[in-house]
Amino acid sequence: MSSASPARPACTRVRVPGKVIISGEHAVVYGAPALACAIKKYAFAKVTNSNLLGVHLKVPEFDIDQQFSNLQLSQLGQQTQFRHQQYLTASGLLSNVVSNPVEFFAAAIGASGLVDVLLNQQGLVIELTMDLATGGGMGSSAALVAAMLAAAFKHLGQPLTPKELISKTTQSEQWQHGRSSGLDPYVCVMGGLQQYQKGCGERQELKQLSQYFLVTTGQPDSSTGECVDAVKRQNLPQALWHQFELIQENLLQCMLGDMKEDMINAISANHRLLQHIGVVPNTVADFVAKIESKGGAAKVCGAGSVVGDHGGLVFAAGIEQTHIEQLCLSHGYDVQTMVPDLEGVFYFD
């Protein structure tokens, strides 16, 4: 075993923000544009050197504390890619692509090309932490994988360009979502307010946001991939996705021009469309109705859910903070002010 390169630092730390989709969830899968914003809630990666070959992966959020050899990582990456290909050709189930979080993160490392850089070198210890809600529309999986890969490649002296990091992160997002639009990795890596369509994003001028809130209604009982599949099976007309596109354009103009009344109307219209495609649980719809009765508007800003009572993250606007706090208290929901992140991936060292 060769010794570590003198150029290799003792520690590399990276921060990647989560994101919220303000408009265009589901529609973005069908080629329509989406409006999304990075937020000041983060995934953190810390990479240090190890005397053991391979990677020691620690993710306290998922009770992961496990050592992997380079061969194990490569095999996991190849096997996961194969199962995803089976899903794409309708010969396998999406639920079989990745069975648990430890397999997901290890496979993401194995499929990223990191093992090729690690060969004949000392190993790594990778520790991931976050203050993002899991499975609720904040892009936690994309932020964690992006932070992990950004820190690991940088630590080994081969930092990834934003384009490379987005591509490698999107690969693992496909395993969870079936057919990822790539929105989450793009917005998490690039930061700011982005209009995203068909793999490309356009940064928008972000004015001071006021009275925008993020409500956590609880982790959905159906995964993003299951929601996407359920919507796909409906064979909805292209005209419906065009309605989503018109609302997204309207919302963007409202945000840029600070047109609050028009924005409330657009958010409400967006909510109705999401109800129409069946991804808003009844309990969440009741909560939204109460916000509307107070003069505000709200909508789920992730995939939502096709079963159960929890819809993940909800974006709300046009309501006084005291009112939304009271409503959330009565429903057992958490609420926070939405604070945009303008930096995207950030290297501490």
What is the average pLDDT value for the chain, to the nearest integer?
91
Share of the chain above pLDDT 70, in %: 96
Tell me the pLDDT tens digit for each residue of 97-143: 998 999 999 999 999 999 999 988 889 999 999 998 776 778 899 99
DSSP-assigned letters across all residues of 207-261:
PPP-SEEEEE----SS-HHHHHHHHHTT---HHHHHHHHHHHHHHHHHHHHT-HH
Please state, in angstroms and rounded to a whole number, the distance separating the CA atoms of residues 128 and 46: 7
Question: For residue 170, is pLDDT > 80?
Answer: yes
The pLDDT value recorded for residue 180 is 79
The pLDDT value recorded for residue 207 is 67
Share of the chain above pLDDT 90, in %: 71
Least confident of 58-67, 172-181, 246-255: 172-181
Helix (H, G, I), strand (E, B) or coil at 198: coil
The pLDDT value recorded for residue 210 is 64
Helix (H, G, I), strand (E, B) or coil at 167: helix
Question: For residue 183, is pLDDT > 80?
Answer: yes
Give the number of residues written for the chain: 349
Please state, in angstroms and rounded to a whole number, the distance separating the CA atoms of residues 236 and 316: 27
Question: For residue 269, is pLDDT > 70?
Answer: yes
Mean of pLDDT values over 9-30: 92
Closest C-alpha to 279, from 228, 245, 330? 228
Query: Of 205 and 54, which is predicted with more confidence?
Result: 54
Please state, in angstroms and rounded to a whole number, the distance separating the CA atoms of residues 218 and 213: 15
Question: For residue 3, is pLDDT > 50?
Answer: no
Q: Which two tokens stand for residue 28?
A: 């973005």
Any idea what DSSP says for residue 147? H
Closest C-alpha to 111, from 144, 159, 59, 75? 75
The pLDDT value recorded for residue 309 is 92
Question: For residue 205, is pLDDT > 90?
Answer: no
Residue 201 burial by CB count (10 A; 0-12/13-18/19+): exposed, middle or buried? buried
Place of tokens 């992160």: 169
Question: For residue 83, is pLDDT > 90?
Answer: yes
Mean of pLDDT values over 196-204: 89
Question: For residue 168, is pLDDT > 90?
Answer: yes
Tell me the pLDDT tens digit for each residue of 234-258: 999 999 999 999 999 998 888 887 7
Any idea what DSSP says for residue 340? B
Question: For residue 47, is pLDDT > 80?
Answer: yes
Percentages helix, strand, coil for the chain (3-state, rounded to 5) are 45, 25, 35
The pLDDT value recorded for residue 27 is 86
Tell me the pLDDT tens digit for each residue of 279-329: 999 999 999 999 999 999 999 988 889 999 999 899 999 999 999 999 999
Closest C-alpha to 210, from 170, 253, 169, 258? 258
The H or E element that residue 267 is part of is helix 260-276
